[in-house]
Amino acid sequence: MEYGKLVELYQKLEATTKKLEMTDILAEFLKGVEPEVLPEVILLTMGRIFPEWEQKEVGVAANLMVQAIKKATGVSEDDIIKWWKETGDLGDAASSAIKSRRQAVLFKKPLTVEMLVSNLRKAAELEGPGTIEKKVSLVAELLASSKPEEARYIVRTILGELRVGVGEGIVRDAISKAFGVDANLVERAYYLTCDYGIVAKLVKEEGEEGLKKVKIELGRPIKVMLAQKAKDIKDGFEKVGRPCAIEFKYDGMRVQVHKKGDEVIVFTRRLENVTKQFPEIVHGVKECVKAKECVIEGEAVGYNPKTGEPLPFQMISRRIKRKYEIEEMAKQIPTETFFFDIVYLEGKETMSLPFEERRKLLSKIVTPKEKLIGLAKQVITSDEKEAEEFYQEALKAKQEGVMLKNLKAKYQPGTRVGYMLKLKPIMETLDLVIVGAEWGEGKRAKWLSSFLLACRDPESGKLLTVGKMATGLTEAQFEEMTQRLKPLITSEKGRKVEVKPKVVVEVGYQEIQKSPKYESGFALRFPRLIRFRDDKSVEEADTLERVRKLYESEARRV
């Protein structure tokens, strides 16, 4: 298929922000796509080259992209960077470079989707000496045979910045509409395969029957069931019913473990394959799980090998991306995995069984071994007092809180259906001052989209940075923030700006960490905007002392 056709689709999609219209446009387009390229086309409409669960990356970031554009067009690096700065979009710069290219066009043939995907997959597989040059060449080859408009989208796709607005919901509805199949079945198939490309091809070739046949495949992760929040124990009981199962909510990393004979594969909740990084989970499952084939879920909690005390999540998160000295890290920050669910056993899916049955199956196949493999600590009760005591016990054991689970509910992958609820102490918020910001990229280029937060240090009279906030804002709030901050800009360097400290915001966050990255010595993990505090002046913003106190009280808990 000609890539130009896909570019026309992108342009049509960009011309509207209405979800329904986008769904119709995409559905119409999908009808005409040959089944062989359908998987790739679906991924490309979402701005991906690989399905989410395949941890592959093209590995060409902005600086290499500049080299590739230069190689493809003969345009100087200075010009490319100048154009890039003008719009904040390297895709636009590539487009301009193609327009003014000084080199003969290498290929006269139109660029195809197949060629694009083939080159980018090749680039992702490269290893060893000369990798960088080869990657640049593969991308340059694509750019050299592309038209200006095509180059724009190729660059955005490779940099992971396509942003035409096609998310999972639109793809699901478009597939359903294009081929006349039930959207729920499409979604179910996606949750079990984590790849809308495969799902679309199956629908096109086999219709609804094909979708119904989709099963869990060992070695390919499924989307996990997610939790909703409970306000307190009483609210929890009201939502999941009495009696219910109450379990420790462990503060660690969710793992989905696939066992296929002697092979054990470990995925995170974000579908990353971390088998290599967590050898102790692999050993543990081999030793303690008596099943030929199963898919089980649990929480891997790091602990201090000297004291046995649990460690906060941030410690094991350091192991997730680790490539070297894996065994050493496994010794320094070992994990104990507490299993809490089972979705597949000996060739059969167990997702439709009630939770209490699943837990029984799990207990049958898991033989706990201390400091390696366990079952999530659980009570089954209707009694609020007993539940409250169990909650306090979990907090005393330095875990995050508790989960409340409906005993009769099935396992519903990928969704927050309210079959399980989480209950944890409320995190206090901070009122902080915005002292800097960064202009966004792509669709956000017109807004300041990342905000530097600071707390007060009354002793020195200075504002000290404690983190960067880029989430929790609606489009209207980005607009408002930009309007408020623009007149306050005091200096501008590249995309970064400094602003007069005037705007106070209330900020929520997941955790406070010690960090040399910011002047305060602390960093907020995932800060998000809760509201503007127009009622507060900068002098009333929270102090370094309060940040420290919150950090300490959190550290005591974990």
Residue 394: in which H helix or E strand, if any? helix 384-396
- Closest CB to ligand AMP among residues 340, 509: 340
- Residue 307's Cβ-side half-sphere holds a number of Cα atoms within 13 Å equal to 5
For the chain, the residue count is 558
Q: State the minimum distance, in angstroms, from the CB of residue 228 to ligand AMP.
A: 8
Q: State the minimum distance, in angstroms, from the CB of residue 245 to ligand AMP.
A: 9
Sign of the torsion formed by the C-alpha atoms of 408, 413, 415 and 420: positive
Binder among 5, 12, 163, 269 for ligand AMP (CB under 6 A) = 269
Work out whether 419 is an interface residue with ligand AMP (CB under 6 A). no
Binder among 299, 431, 511, 542 for ligand AMP (CB under 6 A) = 299
Query: How many chain residues bind ligand AMP (CB under 6 A)?
Result: 12
- Closest CB to ligand AMP among residues 248, 451: 248
The two structure tokens encoding residue 64:
């290499």
- Contact pattern for ligand AMP over residues 22 through 41, marking x by CB under 6 A: --------------------
Q: Are 282 and 257 in contact (CB under 8 A)?
A: no
Range in contact with ligand AMP (rule: CB under 6 A) among 245-253, 258-266, 277-285, 308-316: 245-253
- Contact pattern for ligand AMP over residues 465 through 504, marking x by CB under 6 A: ----------------------------------------
Query: What does the alpha-carbon distance between residue 433 and residue 323 come to, in Å, rounded to a whole number?
Result: 38
Work out whether 509 is an interface residue with ligand AMP (CB under 6 A). no
Work out whether 431 is an interface residue with ligand AMP (CB under 6 A). no
Work out whether 336 is an interface residue with ligand AMP (CB under 6 A). no
- Closest CB to ligand AMP among residues 250, 447: 250
Q: Are 530 and 507 in contact (CB under 8 A)?
A: yes
Cα–Cα distances in Å, from 265 out to 218, 274, 377, 529? 9, 8, 24, 37
Catalogue the active-site residues.
249
Work out whether 247 is an interface residue with ligand AMP (CB under 6 A). yes
The two structure tokens encoding residue 141:
């080859």
Sign of the torsion formed by the C-alpha atoms of 361, 367, 371 and 377: positive
Q: State the minimum distance, in angstroms, from the CB of residue 342 to ligand AMP.
A: 12
Taking CB under 6 A as the criterion, which residues in 337-366 touch ligand AMP?
Answer: 340
Q: State the minimum distance, in angstroms, from the CB of residue 84 to ligand AMP.
A: 37
Work out whether 202 is an interface residue with ligand AMP (CB under 6 A). no
Binder among 227, 300, 342, 351 for ligand AMP (CB under 6 A) = 227
The two structure tokens encoding residue 534:
């127009």
Please state the φ and ψ torsions of residue 512, each to the nearest 5 degrees.
-110, 130
DSSP secondary structure letters along 98-149: HHT--S--S--SPPBHHHHHHHHHHHHH--STTHHHHHHHHHHHHHHTS-HH
- Closest CB to ligand AMP among residues 10, 338: 338
Query: What does the alpha-carbon distance between residue 319 and residue 312 come to, in Å, rounded to a whole number?
Result: 13
- Closest CB to ligand AMP among residues 249, 533: 249
Q: State the minimum distance, in angstroms, from the CB of residue 227 to ligand AMP.
A: 4
- Closest CB to ligand AMP among residues 299, 441: 299
Query: What does the alpha-carbon distance between residue 8 and residue 3 come to, in Å, rounded to a whole number?
Result: 9
Work out whether 511 is an interface residue with ligand AMP (CB under 6 A). no
Binder among 5, 147, 254, 443 for ligand AMP (CB under 6 A) = 254
The two structure tokens encoding residue 395:
């907090």
- Closest CB to ligand AMP among residues 40, 297: 297
Cα–Cα distances in Å, from 531 out to 111, 258, 481, 524, 538? 48, 43, 11, 17, 15
Range in contact with ligand AMP (rule: CB under 6 A) among 74-82, 89-97, 241-249, 472-480: 241-249
Ranked by CB distance to ligand AMP, the top (closest) residue is 254
Helical segments of 194-339, H only: 196-212, 233-240, 279-288, 313-320, 326-332
> CB under 8 Å to 346, separation ≥6 — which residues?
291, 292, 293, 294
Work out whether 403 is an interface residue with ligand AMP (CB under 6 A). yes
Q: State the minimum distance, in angstroms, from the CB of residue 387 to ligand AMP.
A: 14
Taking CB under 6 A as the criterion, which residues in 371-400 touch ligand AMP?
Answer: 376
Q: State the minimum distance, in angstroms, from the CB of residue 270 to ligand AMP.
A: 10
CA dihedral 318, 324, 327, 332 (to 10 degrees): -40
Please state the φ and ψ torsions of residue 402, each to the nearest 5 degrees.
-135, 160
- Closest CB to ligand AMP among residues 338, 439: 338
- Closest CB to ligand AMP among residues 247, 280: 247
Q: State the minimum distance, in angstroms, from the CB of residue 229 to ligand AMP.
A: 8
Q: State the minimum distance, in angstroms, from the CB of residue 244 to ligand AMP.
A: 12
The two structure tokens encoding residue 193:
């395969």
Say which residue the tokens 């395949």 belong to.
54
3-state secondary structure of 77: helix
- Closest CB to ligand AMP among residues 89, 299: 299
Q: State the minimum distance, in angstroms, from the CB of residue 430 to ligand AMP.
A: 20
Nearest Cα to 435, choosing from 466, 399, 391, 472?
A: 466
Range in contact with ligand AMP (rule: CB under 6 A) among 141-149, 247-255, 383-391, 465-473: 247-255
Work out whether 144 is an interface residue with ligand AMP (CB under 6 A). no
Query: What does the alpha-carbon distance between residue 516 and residue 521 come to, in Å, rounded to a whole number?
Result: 5
Work out whether 422 is an interface residue with ligand AMP (CB under 6 A). yes
Nearest Cα to 279, choosing from 268, 293, 292, 265?
A: 265
- Closest CB to ligand AMP among residues 483, 510: 510
Q: State the minimum distance, in angstroms, from the CB of residue 318 to ligand AMP.
A: 17
- Give the interface with ligand AMP as residue ranges (CB under 6 A): 227, 247-250, 254, 269, 299, 340, 376, 403, 422
